[in-house]
Amino acid sequence: MTAHIRKLNQLSRRTVLKGVGATMGLPLLEGMLSNDGLAAGASSVAPLRTAYVFFPNGAIMPEWTPKAEGENFEFSKTLKPLESFRNNLNVISGLAQDNGRAKGDGPGDHARSASTFLTGAHPIKTAGADIKVGISADQFAAQQIGKATRLPSLEVGLESGRTAGNCDSGYSCAYSSTVSWKTEHTPMPVEVNPKLVFDRLFSSSNGSPQERAKRAKYRRSILDVVAGDAQRLSKSLGKTDRRKIDEYFTSVREIEQRIGQAEQSAKLETPDFEIPDGIPKDLAEHSRLMYDLMLLAFRTDSTRIATMMLATEGSNRSYPTVGVNSGHHSLSHHRDDKNKVADLQKIDTFHVTQFAYFLKRLSETKDGNGSLLDHSMIVLGSGLGDGNRHRHDELPIVVAGGASGTVKNGQHIRLKDETPLNNLFLSMFHRTGVKTDSFGDSNGLLKEIDA
Amino acid sequence: MTQVHLKVRCPHCRFRFKVEQKYAGRIARCPRAECDGKLRIPDTQPVPRVSDKEPASQTVASKGTRSRSNSSKVTRSVSEGPEGQPPSAAPRSRVGLPAARDRKPQPEERYTRRAKQNRRRKTAPSKPRLPIWQIAIGTVGLLLAVLAILFAPNGDTNSQNEVAAGVKSQVAAAPALDVFKEKLHPFVTKYCADCHNADDPEAGIDFATFPTEASMLTGHGRKSWEKILSMLEIGAMPPADMEQPPAELRNELTAWLEDKLFNLDCDLIDDPGRVTVRRLNRVEYRNTIRDLLAVDFDPRKNFPSDDVGYGFDNIGDVLSLSPLLMEKYLDAAETITGDAIPVMTPGDLRTTVDSQRLNSKPRVGEQGGFLTLASRTDVWTDFDAPQDGEYEIDVRAKAKQFGKELAKMELRVDGKVVRTFDVKGEMKPDDYVHKMRLESGRRKILVTFTNDKWVENVGDRNLYVGRFAITRPADKSKLNEVIRDWPEQGSGTRKAATAVLTPLIKRAFRGPVSETEVSRFVDIVEIATNDGELFEQGIQFAVQAVLVSPRFLFRIETDGRPDDPMTERPVTDYELASRLSYFLWSSMPDEELFRLAERGELRDADVLKRQVMRMLNDSKSRAIVDNFAGQWLNLQMLDEMVPDPDVFPDFDVALRDAMKQESLLLFETIMREDRSLLEFLDADFTFMNARLAKHYGRDGVKGEEFQKVSLDQGRRAGILTHASILTLTSNPERTSPVKRGKWIMENILGEAPPPPPPGVPELEETAKNNPRFTLREQLKIHRADPGCASCHKTMDVLGFGFENFDATGRWRDKDGDNDIDPSGKLPAGDTFAGAAELVGLLKNRRADFARCLSEKMLTYALGRGLEYYDRCATDEILQRLNTNNYRFSELVLGIVTSKPFQKRRGDGERK
């Protein structure tokens, strides 16, 4: 165990996981497994975690897509940093999010890229009322299996949504600042401050057991009263108002459940995790911190479902950390300008490298009879393929993780053009115990990944 | 001439288009520039088509020409001249109606409006205008007669009946033409339904769902048709590569649609609309907490940002509440109540200074928690007393006795002896306690060993001094602001809690509350005190519940029949108080508003007016500057602007903040001094601090404070020449006339250009295809596309007028080596030499500006997007402004007394 901890320390450089092993070691994890509501007989099986990592503005596809198909393919320039995980991932080409296309709605491909990425639904073009797309894959799963953990799901990101105006040609900013939709009307905002993510994961474990119990007790009384308020109010409201108050009510219920979960796992202690107060200026550090937190969330079984937005869709942030000083979105309309393409490829590589760091951490974290990576399905991808042309097909998608042995890894899978990305989500659902025959515009399972 | 067309759908981007049949079976490229994919033209499905010779570009051109030829007549005949008197306000009274109706059939008066913000109202005063954007259209008199019937009120007054009768007789003379059935329906079937049908409703529009005129004008239909109309008007639909309708038919039908959709009879429409419950946004939450509990809590640090709709972040429909936010509300409630209702146990009040931290003179050693005083020695600590009051000073001590006297320990505070203790026992530690009043501030708490005795080889009297513990009095002053009633000994918790919570909940919920409602919160206090918690701890929990209650977090107005759109009512006095306070202060009502609401006096016209003036004068009205003006002018966008440091090395955060402040100060001055709104456009003064003055190249402004300065008349005037606006409408490395023009159209003229139609390449792409051309030349190419021309011919000209200002708003005479040419000619024919003249021309469009600003402020005040019927309210506000020199307070009063602000109705669409 000690050696293991030291290794972690070396890896994380700045963000030191001081003594995580000591407080958060395997015994605790297993202890939690036994009372986490898994079906009888399954308690020795580590749960399957899913994460969806989104990046905006598409990718330089010729540098992304491996030339060869099948096994033993050669890693492309952009995906090279993932090579050491060859046997832990599949590169999938040919997936599309058809509903990201205009369908007569005109410009706004970026808003549609993010809003369709996990929903496979066509967003209503509006800057104001009637925001509507579809429930996202993470939230759909969280509804069914999220109750098993303190947090049904975790939504993090590296860039805050814009707060002013439309974000893309008449689309509300909600569409491009999150990929996670709790209902077709309710976007889930992303948390970009690592400290707040940490608090969200572990603040309920602050204080002595007595203090925690007291806090939980009064929170529950408080929530009881206000949930009652909401229900009584709801009766005298019109239908639009009712929807808003229902949203409130749902949120209250979810937190009540979480308090219940926290009490059940009362043994959970706050991991000793050094975390800066603000948002790190260096993007690489910010990104590593967020991946560390996702890892921590999975490791402590605080949640099994996470989404991470590496930037908001249409983001125009620059990447000085890899020597790119122009805005990502401006660059993405490169018109085959060599320099711009080269800069974009650097940005793609940056994201892939950070993702490789996450996989590495997952693979080094013991979980049940294997590693966390063995018990995960982690999607890395964008809602746009060729960003220059706003293509919603030929999406850049990598799916990593052993999925508890249910996936055949090591392939570059070339699918039939226009295969809905939702087919992948449906296939993931079936592995995590989410029951449904279809999801969004799915038209089948992605059998190609089956073991 | 009959031609046969083939329908084709691009397999790559799914763009649909048609080609002549002769190309069947050939390989082609997708006409959509972004796609350009290769495809094979199929050779099935021929569609017979009557081709028309009117390409889109000609359509637009002809509209433009007509516009110009008629415009001068329009301007002079019905509106104030550029500097003229306001038009005699067409009264809202019935008497005004005949005149308005009589005027209607004048074709010169009619012009198309583009967006729903620009709806015309029959009784409205005609616009004074500089017809930049108008396209006058000849109209068939017959249509108007038909229209008049539709809108004739079923009135009950004489004058109304007369009007109606007059109209009817006209109609009787003219055979009615069912335009919808006989013209519009065939039109859409021929030109639109191929792509907008039930099987494949492009853009969500299926023309089969509009079988009748009524279906077009109700609910969702109206919204669709507003969109359809704007697409037809700018010539964006049918797409340029599709068959085009004859210009005359297009014009006739757009005019007819314009009339149907936007010429409202407010006596018939009369709809107050309905606001969705509004969650407090971050600013409102912060201010409300400040006014409710006197706690400053800044939610920007950890609440997720608020969703924005219609340009503002206080729109009920858009503000959502995720579990994440709910969690933040709970945490915030804990923090806030911890601050407002400090619960102090004795332990919390005690300050302990261990022996190691005690000072001594002469310096003595410490061992085992005690300093050894073998001779006369001072031991002290400097204690910061937080307030005046009764303190308890507790010194631990023990002694080695010798001789007759016990060891003595003198306690001095600030040099004055207050007590001398006999330290008893042989080396027996004890706590020596003295209670006394201390004044706030640094107090020197000191003990001295006063009776040292030592006889060599016989004995020694020593004193040992241990830790000091000082207990401050419980500061209930803060607590007493919230808790005015304390339970009597042993009982009365419920009574006291009820007394404490009732007024607080009333204020927090901004209206009356029943005993039952209060009792639920009292229950929480009781649970806590039964658990042995302090009363104030119970109150703290109860107030936490109040702060996360939906009745606090949302502004809720409940109705008797919430789902009946026909049931309408005035808002209650309390609801009105909240509407006022959140509009003007972004916060809850104050005592005075509550008092007036309770007495039922707030609706009184004089009272209301006095209150509005009082609220505007209050410093809290700065909220409308920061929140309304900041969002109207898009000033937050400045935060995202990073002018290229290579080109603009001087740009920094201080400058950016100063730019923002300048614009906000102009707004605030107009508000505080109740000046004319038109001064936004041409104020001859502004505000600068040293940083901004340096940027503008202006001498004599020193320091960080802003001061009022007069402007150089020839160069700058009003908000459009502020560095803030000029920067936020620029690209990082250069100006963008298009963005500047678009900004003016959206935020000053209220004519937001619609998003470019599908399939039209963006300007960026035009530029990238023609990299060697100047910006002006690139835009010229871009405008050659009819889909772009209709908007860009206005946008670009407006923007080029400000070319003397660089991308950070500094004056320049040259762009690189080229001289700046800031002159231009607006589509309607007016010419200008530069920004100052252009500002003058824009100011002549005072009614458009006033309407734009009124609509934006009404949106902000109501917290909802405007609907077509709100046109009636804005018309009245405009009239009011017109007759009152556009004074700021008149705009606010106009909004506050408007129907949508004063009334509400049940949810749903009115038939």
Per-position DSSP letters for A308-340, written without gaps between them: EESS-TT----BGGGTB-S-HHHHHS-TT-HHH
CB contact under 8 A, B636 and A163: yes
* Within a domain: B215: yes
Tell me whether strands A376-381 and B554-555 are parallel, antiparallel or unpaired.
unpaired
Q: Which residues of chain B lie closer than 8 angstroms to A240, CB-CB?
A: 274, 276, 317, 907
- Shared domain check, B446 and B417: yes
* Within a domain: B374: yes
pLDDT (0 to 100) of residue A162: 61
Backbone dihedral region of A396: left (phi > 0), alpha (psi from -120 to 50 degrees) or beta?
beta
pLDDT (0 to 100) of residue B117: 38
| HSE-up of residue A405 (Cα within 13 Å, Cβ side) | 4
Which burial class, exposed, middle or buried, applies to A80 when counting CB atoms under 10 A from its CB (0-12, 13-18, 19+)? middle
- Shared domain check, B467 and B389: yes
| HSE-up of residue B110 (Cα within 13 Å, Cβ side) | 24
- Shared domain check, B153 and B280: no
pLDDT (0 to 100) of residue B137: 34
Which of A175, A229, A279 to mutate: most B Cβ within 10 Å?
A229
Asked whether the beta carbons of B773 and B794 are under 8 A apart, the reply is: no
- Shared domain check, B174 and B142: yes
* Within a domain: B573: no
B599-630: per-residue pLDDT in tens? Answer: 999 999 999 999 999 999 999 999 999 999 99
pLDDT (0 to 100) of residue A41: 34
pLDDT (0 to 100) of residue A200: 84
CA distance A157 to A309: 4
Q: Is the ipTM of this complex over 0.85?
A: no
Q: What dotted CATH number matches A31-197+270-449?
A: 3.40.720
* Within a domain: B305: yes
Instruction: Give the distance from residue B599's alpha carbon to the nearest chain A alpha carbon, in angstroms.
Output: 25
Asked whether the beta carbons of A421 and A96 are under 8 A apart, the reply is: yes
Asked if the C-beta of B768 comes within 8 angstroms of chain A's C-beta atoms, the answer is yes
- Shared domain check, B198 and B79: yes
Q: With a cut of 80, say whether residue A88 has pLDDT above it.
A: yes
Q: Which residues of chain B lie closer than 8 angstroms to A303, CB-CB?
A: none
CA distance B569 to B904: 6
Which residues 551-580 of chain B have a CB within 8 Å of chain A?
551, 553-554, 556, 558-559, 562-563
Chains A and B: how many Cβ contacts under 8 Å?
A: 206
Number of domains in chain B: 4
Say which CATH number the domain at B463 has: 2.60.120.260
CB contact under 8 A, A254 and B554: no
Asked if the C-beta of B245 comes within 8 angstroms of chain A's C-beta atoms, the answer is no
pLDDT (0 to 100) of residue A279: 86
pLDDT (0 to 100) of residue B876: 94
CB contact under 8 A, A241 and B276: yes
CA distance B39 to A183: 39
Instruction: Give the distance from residue A410's alpha carbon to the nearest chain B alpha carbon, in angstroms.
Output: 30
Q: Which residues of chain A lie closer than 8 angstroms to B305, CB-CB?
A: 160-161, 163, 189
- Shared domain check, B86 and B65: yes
The band of A132, judged by pLDDT with boundaries at 50, 70 and 90, is confident
Asked if the C-beta of B206 comes within 8 angstroms of chain A's C-beta atoms, the answer is no
CA distance A27 to B633: 58
Q: Where along chain A do its domains lie?
A: 31-197+270-449, 207-268
* Within a domain: B170: yes
List the structure tokens of B776.
């002006």
- Shared domain check, B195 and B107: yes
CB contact under 8 A, A200 and B327: yes
pLDDT (0 to 100) of residue B14: 67
pLDDT (0 to 100) of residue B758: 54
Asked whether the beta carbons of B274 and B904 are under 8 A apart, the reply is: yes
CB contact under 8 A, A103 and B202: yes
Residue of A nearest to B553 (CA): A248
Which residues 312-331 of chain B have a CB within 8 Å of chain A?
313, 315-318, 320-327, 330-331
Asked whether the beta carbons of A367 and A296 are under 8 A apart, the reply is: no
B162 or B35, which is more confident?
Answer: B35
DSSP A163: -
CB contact under 8 A, B309 and A155: no
* Within a domain: B24: yes
CB contact under 8 A, A248 and B562: no
The band of B159, judged by pLDDT with boundaries at 50, 70 and 90, is very low
pLDDT (0 to 100) of residue B492: 87
pLDDT (0 to 100) of residue B4: 67
Q: Print the domain residue range for B427.
A: 366-472
CB contact under 8 A, A229 and B551: yes
Asked if the C-beta of B545 comes within 8 angstroms of chain A's C-beta atoms, the answer is yes
CB contact under 8 A, B636 and A104: no
Last residue of a domain, one of B531, B556, B581: B556
- Shared domain check, B305 and B159: no
* Within a domain: B699: no
- Shared domain check, B99 and B31: no
Which residues 637-696 of chain B have a CB within 8 Å of chain A?
637, 640
Last residue of a domain, one of B430, B450, B472: B472
- Shared domain check, B98 and B109: yes
Q: With a cut of 60, say whether residue B668 has pLDDT above it.
A: yes
Asked if the C-beta of B368 comes within 8 angstroms of chain A's C-beta atoms, the answer is no
CA distance B545 to A56: 40
- Shared domain check, B173 and B219: yes
Instruction: Give the distance from residue A225's alpha carbon to the nearest chain B alpha carbon, in angstroms.
Output: 7
Q: Which residues of chain B lie closer than 8 angstroms to A226, CB-CB?
A: 545, 548-550
The band of B172, judged by pLDDT with boundaries at 50, 70 and 90, is very low
The band of B265, judged by pLDDT with boundaries at 50, 70 and 90, is confident
CB contact under 8 A, A247 and B274: no
Q: With a cut of 60, say whether residue B757 has pLDDT above it.
A: no
- Shared domain check, B453 and B306: no
pLDDT (0 to 100) of residue A413: 97
Last residue of a domain, one of B450, B472, B494: B472
Residue of A nearest to B16 (CA): A104
Map tokens 């669409």 to a residue.
Answer: B909
Least confident of A73-82, A359-368, B42-51, B283-292: B42-51
Percentage of chain B modeled with pLDDT above 70: 78
Tell me what the pLDDT averaged over chain B comes to.
81
Residue of A nearest to B275 (CA): A241
Which residues 853-892 of chain B have a CB within 8 Å of chain A?
864-865
Q: With a cut of 70, say whether residue B120 has pLDDT above it.
A: no
**Non-local CB neighbours of A82 within 8 Å, separated by 6+ positions:** A75, A89, A352, A355, A356, A359, A398, A400
Could you tell me the CA-to-CA distances from B301 to B295, B332, B545 in Å, in that order?
Answer: 16, 11, 22
Backbone dihedral region of A13: left (phi > 0), alpha (psi from -120 to 50 degrees) or beta?
left
DSSP B870: G
Question: What size, in residues, is chain B?
Answer: 911
Map tokens 């902000």 to a residue.
Answer: B860
Mean per-residue pLDDT, A220-247 = 92
Secondary structure of A43-68 as H, E, C letters: CCCCCCEEEEEECCCCECHHHHCCCC
Tell me what the pLDDT averaged over chain A comes to.
84
Of the partner residues A131, A185, A236, the one whose CB lies closest to the CB of residue B562: A236
CA distance B518 to B549: 12
Provide the 3-class DSSP secondary structure of residue B884. Answer: coil
In what side-by-side order are the strands of the sheet with A89-96?
A70-71, A411-420, A89-96, A397-400, A376-381, A49-54, A305-309, A154-157
